[in-house]
Structure 1
Amino acid sequence: MIISPPFLLEQADSETDSEWVNRMMPADAQRSFPINKGQSWHGGIHLTGSSSNPVRCIADGKVLSLRQPDQAKRDVSPLNYNGATDYGYVLLKHETEIGSGDSGKIVWYSLYMHLSRVDGNAQPGKTLHRKEIIGMAGMVDDQNALHFQIFCDDENLQKITGRISPDTDLTKDGRVEVVYGDIHFFLPAGTPVYESAPPDNSLVNNSSVLETSVQLYVTMRFDKGSCTMTTRQEDPILPDNYSEVGEPLVNADGEDYEYNLYSSALKLYPASPSAGYEMLRFGRVINTEYETLSPADAPLWQKVNTPEGKGFVNLGARDIKVYSDGDFPHWMGWKLVDDDTDTNSQCNSPTILCTTRSDLNRMICHFPLEWDKATVDSRFEWLKSPNDVKNKPMAECDLNLLTEHGKALCLAENPLPSGRVWHFEPREFIAHFRKCGWLGLDDFVRIVRRNESHALQPNLTKAELVSWLTTEGRKPSGEIIRPDNVGVSLSKILSKYLIVTPLRMAHFMGQMARETGRFKFFVENGDLNYFNMYEPRTTQGIKLGNTQSGDGARFKGRGTVHLTGRENYSNYSKYRFGQSSTFFTEEPNNMLPAIDSYCACDAGGYFWISKQKFSRTFQPIGKLSINYWADQGSSQYNASQLTGRINPGQDGFISVRWPAFVHAWYALNDDVSTPDDFRPIK
């Protein structure tokens, strides 16, 4: 999912992403989520101070319903109840992907209410793309504001959060088909904590040991090379409150921990480095269809804080459960609230009313949609009687005015099912899913849809690219040049190798554009004479480790970022299956990086985190992972430096790699100024 706030201004270098999201969405404290000052349910937030900044689409979505505002009506009843109020709105339906399989395909809705103008580009049934202008914020009770909310139905709530229970299930690991963001570990009371980790990464630890006295929750976060381990425990007096234990441990296992995951996997898991990489990255093996950890109970030693002090814990132990942000862990504040069963607008939820938590922003609440005209009378019924909020019933005339005001603001056409829906605090929803990084089929289409020779040829049609992403391709000779179902495998691999930030993904897509012709072929083009240059008798062939006649064609470039030469195929074999493996140097296994979608994508990911090629113009020789170079920035110089680590000759940099990066970067980032060589897709 690619998502951004409804207002977009440049992010400061000193801001974290969540800080920037909150700055883009300043909220009125009196119109907060999930209840307002009158103790009635409020499904969204009111964004203020936005009179000159256009409202933008937060993610690709289809317009389900809209109403053009009439500013002449906002100053009179029924819209003017407590002050001038605009009633323009746009309702969008979003069908996005956050993981593999059916459970990774989700549907949710965003509503932009109190618009003073709806852009002419917004039309019923039309798909609006992220960052497209929807309109302008209008007035609410004489104040400039936009009511903004995000919600979903029961089925998609389970897909989004992975559960229907209020809290996370601590008896089993989290989902493997939906994994993103930070990794979390549940440590039961009595977990052994050791003074040091075994030097040989064995299960046997002979250092001094103690046991944890309480349940602990450990979060592992990667960011630009660093790894931060944060421990939390529940407050024994205030349930549902989780405080940090000690100061977070940053790079406790060495500087640039994330950039060095590949070398660590080779060292710690020599019998299965690829599966070991997943242990280091996810806390467990995720792609079990392709990766097998050897030995099966190989440990994951990490230094963590405990109430008893710092120590090393085997986070791979079977009694420790592993989750990701995709499981919406309750100790991070995410709680499902479904204990107000009536159909009125008063909040009677014991969870909300009796909570000891000061922050309700991560409560996901089930209550009636407030914009359904058919339910206004029943939702306001409680105002007729004395209650905990009002000492006396609302006068009939006042209630009638309020009811008419509510109906005037309701959806002109409500295509949604009646009843209760699940509401998310919009800032938290957006900040959370900006950590997802999973790209669906439509996302790939937006990112890569352009021919290499774009100056001479028109853009690819969507059907052409979808076909390339989902079906295999064969040359006239019958050789398979493209595997099937590349989109799902590529998203898995981007997640595995932490190519999940917009900048890293854009750099990867820029390089892949040249290597594969934007998904058209996953094998190096050329005739027999071309591959003869790679034969063992040539300098180039010797550099590539080719030793036998025919190795030039046998080990030609294959994969999303090309493996080329016997030595590279051999090293990839050792990475996937252990130091003694020769799997990919044997025929026909050498073909797999071109015909098997997982191998094709994983080979590119492997290259990305393991390889650097240097020439005298690319100094200094430093970081190993190309992710390091991707993190340096988005300038042409940055892209050129990264290209040099993949192709020292800068092959196709100006004509393909750089333009493809610019296109992908615009599609992925939050910049609203269109670069010269980006042509929006129609």
Structure 2
Amino acid sequence: MIISPPFLPALTVEALNSNDPSRIDPMMDAVDGFELPHHGIYPIAFDRRWHCGAHLMPRFQNEPVRAIADGEVVAYRVCQKAITDGSKDESGAEALNSNLGFVLLKHSTETGDGRAITFYSLYMHLLDLDGIRRLQPQPNNPPEVGTSMTLPLWLLRPTNGVQVPARQKVYRKDMLGYPGACHGQLHLHFEIFMTEGDFTAWFSQPGHAVQLDNNAPTTPASKDYWGHSYFVIPQGQSFVSVPPEAIGAAAKYFPPLQAGTLPVGSKLYVEAFFHKGQRYTRSWLDRAGTITSLTPVPVPADKDYEYEMYARATALYPQCPSDGYEMLRFGRILTEHANQVAAPPKTWIPVTFEAGKQGYVDISQSTIQKLSDADFPFFMGWQKIQESNTPFSQDGLCDYDELRRIVGVAEDLETPAERLRPEWEQEDKLAAYIQTHPAVREKLRGFICHAPSEWDASGNDARYGRLNDPDGFFGKRKVTDPDGYANFLRFHTQLQFMEQTPLAGGRKFWFFHPLAFVRYFRRCGWLSNPEFKKMFPITALRKKSTFQWVSEPVQPQLNLVENLGVKLNKAMRKFGITTPLRQAAFLGNAMQETQWFRSLAEGAPEYQRYYPWFGRGFLQLTWPDNYVKYWKFDGRQVASTLSGRLHEAAIVSNRMRSNAALMALEAHVPVGMKKWRDDLTEPSIDASDSAGAYWAWSGAARSADQSPVFRRESVQVGNASKPYYSSESFGKVAATVNVGQPSRNFEAINGLQARYQAYVAALLLLTEGVQFPIADGTLKDFPDH
């Protein structure tokens, strides 16, 4: 699942790639700052109407509104001019201060194996065409299809009402317009919601049910996992200063901490995550339902914990380092394989169990529950909000007690004069209350609300009638504002459109705080087959001779994606290749190594000095030492005598530049081992898992995590100069993959230019904010050609 916020402000390379564990998503941090502090509170308005969107406004109005994910247009409306809410301007004329333009998108993607998800995004109050042309010149011949650089033709023509197109595609980062206004207040009203059927299909799917609202969550039977890990530790659990297994060579992994016991009547919730090669934890103590944070900031483990995790797993879990590696990363074993141990091995991790105190706990215990972000754990703030079955449950006003209390507190803070203002102006007091109470604001972001759409005109009188009752918002104002309710409905009806779309009217939906939804699912890292297929560059450079280059069309074998996409995802999840930078670096190499996913085996290998131990798998594991190292990591038994003989033969073959020494040993290699070797070329987990293991032990993630700074270079292809973009950080990854270490001797890397091109193509799909120097030296968010 690839998802972005609806604005993509320009950030520096350093800002985009923060080392701060409290700011692991700088782009979302920047866009969170666009949420207005003075109106448009999610999920309730001052008059107790549901307000299930967020109001966002960037610093500059010419910051484009963008599609957050690939999808289809459900409906849209483009207006030539703004409308009035009845207010007068300085000249006494009606103020054209509100915008009716909107785009409603439907998104369908995947979050895991067999985990399809469908959701909708709404971009409301888009600027009118007159305003757009005053704000930003538009091309004379706009493209039919949208792009990240300009608006398409269909969004530059007035629609004279709501349009429902057939199969109109939109892609992530495509421009949809610019923020307009409502009641003269500049902003974009942004929503994300799911239909009742889609919500049930994802949150309650048999075998994959999410534990939303479950106050006693258990380790799921499903292998669904993404994002951060969570552990629920029960009362009475003991923590030790040093694990009993910390002896000999293992001792260095367990510096002494403190011992203690979790009090009776309490639980400990622990979050664990990795960032830039480090492992961090946060802890909360639950005493009788009152949850208290024990860690104001994330607590780091040993330096370079993740970067060195392969060595740690090999040292602590010699029987099957692969299982140990997953225990260290997830707290459970997600990959099923033939050599899996019967029970998860003991895994001691440092945890803050009391303010200022850390001790080791064995998370392999069945009494400790293991979750991830895929489970929407309640203690991370997620909560379903549904109206009780009251006589007013269908009228569309919010009767949820806590939300009513928040409105009541804010209303009590008003002066008599403030209570005479129009209802939309009184949002200031509610917004100010929430803005000055961070705990309230954070809690609201976790509410998932079952509510009608405010853009559904069907049954407006039934829905809003109570506002006009004697004790309702407008009823209490009859003397000072006798036409308030009629004016409210007249204006609000002009904005509404839902009943004119395929979603129809009279329905309820499940709404999320839209920025919280985007931020959360950006942790997912699972790539659908369509997303994999869009990863490839259009052409690739190849050196034909010393002075001759060719640019060849890239023709990937998409069947390999279809057959191995799930396994590749699982391997990337296992080895922490889940951030956009790591995925782009990994796949940029895998694309070239497999010749654009056309083959999992190296071509014409019989001429190579390492034959028959030629390159296989997604990162083309080569030489017997690497195969043996992978098998031992996977828990397979390889006789030490054979391993030693293969090592010596490889040295001889390499020195003699001949495969004779390795071929002489081939008759002594067991049939079973030959099958293991060939499995790397088959649609099995080995092709992906071996690539992930090589990535882990070679340390490629260190360079992949560095900020990519690009240099525009070119080669002569025929009579034309063909540009490409080099990057030192990725060059080190390519060297690590190709020659086994992060060398700066980039000329020794096979197919380096094609790797660069694949890396850039993957970055464009997976990231946002990366900039490229173009021919005139300026930086753009899209590369030349």
TM-score tier (shorter): 0.7 to 0.9
Alignment match, 2:507 = 419
TM-score for both structures, normalised by structure 1: 0.83
Alignment match, 1:23 = 30
Q: Deviations over 1:113-140 (max 9, x none)?
A: 1111473355733211111101111111
User: Aligned in 2, Cα 1:386/1:216: closer, same or farther, shift over 3 Å?
Assistant: farther
Q: Deviations over 1:310-360 (max 9, x none)?
A: 211111110100111111111111111113552223110135345895131
Alignment match, 2:138 = none
Contact 1:63 1:122 in 2 (8 A): no
Contact 1:640 1:653 in 2 (8 A): no
Which of 381, 384, 391 is equivalent to 1:336?
384
User: Aligned in 2, Cα 1:469/1:666: closer, same or farther, shift over 3 Å?
Assistant: same
Contact 2:121 2:190 in 1 (8 A): yes
Contact 2:84 2:95 in 1 (8 A): no
Q: Deviations over 1:484-528 (max 9, x none)?
A: x21111111111111111111111111112111121111100153
1:251 Cα deviation (Å)?
3.6
Alignment match, 2:276 = 224
Matched, 1:133 2:175: yes
How far, CA to CA, are the matches of 1:313 and 1:141 in structure 2?
56
Which of 239, 251, 265 is equivalent to 1:193?
239
1:184 Cα deviation (Å)?
0.4
Which of 152, 171, 187 is equivalent to 1:120?
152
SS at match of 1:667: helix
Contact 2:320 2:341 in 1 (8 A): yes
How far, CA to CA, are the matches of 1:318 and 1:638 in structure 2?
42
Farther off after superposition, 489-498 or 406-415: 406-415
Matched, 1:408 2:494: yes
1:284 Cα deviation (Å)?
0.2
User: Aligned in 2, Cα 1:584/1:9: closer, same or farther, shift over 3 Å?
Assistant: farther
Which of 511, 515, 538 is equivalent to 1:450?
538
User: Aligned in 2, Cα 1:108/1:520: closer, same or farther, shift over 3 Å?
Assistant: same
Contact 1:54 1:135 in 2 (8 A): yes
Which of 595, 599, 605 is equivalent to 2:682?
595
Which of 467, 475, 497 is equivalent to 2:559?
467
Give the counterpart letter for 1:234 in structure 2.
D
For residues 43-442 of structure 1, what are the structure 2 equivalents within 5 Å?
43-49=52-58, 50-74=60-84, 84-101=97-114, 104-117=115-128, 119-121=151-153, 124=165, 125-158=167-200, 160-161=202-203, 167-168=213-214, 170-174=216-220, 176-200=222-246, 210-213=260-263, 214-234=266-286, 239=289, 242-246=291-295, 250-252=299-301, 254-287=302-335, 289-290=336-337, 293-294=340-341, 296-307=343-354, 309-341=357-389, 342-353=393-404, 358-359=440-441, 360-387=444-471, 392=476, 397-411=483-497, 413-417=500-504, 418-442=506-530
Contact 1:158 1:164 in 2 (8 A): no
User: Aligned in 2, Cα 1:248/1:384: closer, same or farther, shift over 3 Å?
Assistant: closer
Farther off after superposition, 364-373 or 84-93: 364-373
Alignment match, 2:728 = 637
Contact 1:522 1:559 in 2 (8 A): yes
SS at match of 1:373: coil
Contact 2:24 2:275 in 1 (8 A): no
Give the counterpart letter for 1:266 in structure 2.
T
How far, CA to CA, are the matches of 2:326 and 2:179 in structure 1?
45
Aligned residues: 621
Contact 2:257 2:360 in 1 (8 A): no
How far, CA to CA, are the matches of 2:461 and 2:210 in structure 1?
30
Q: Percent identity?
A: 29
Larger radius of gyration, structure 1 or 2? 2
TM-score for both structures, normalised by structure 2: 0.73
Contact 1:87 1:408 in 2 (8 A): yes
Matched, 1:665 2:763: yes
Any stretches of 5+ residues in structure 2 without a counterpart?
Answer: 130-150, 156-164, 407-436, 543-549, 644-669, 710-726, 740-746, 776-780
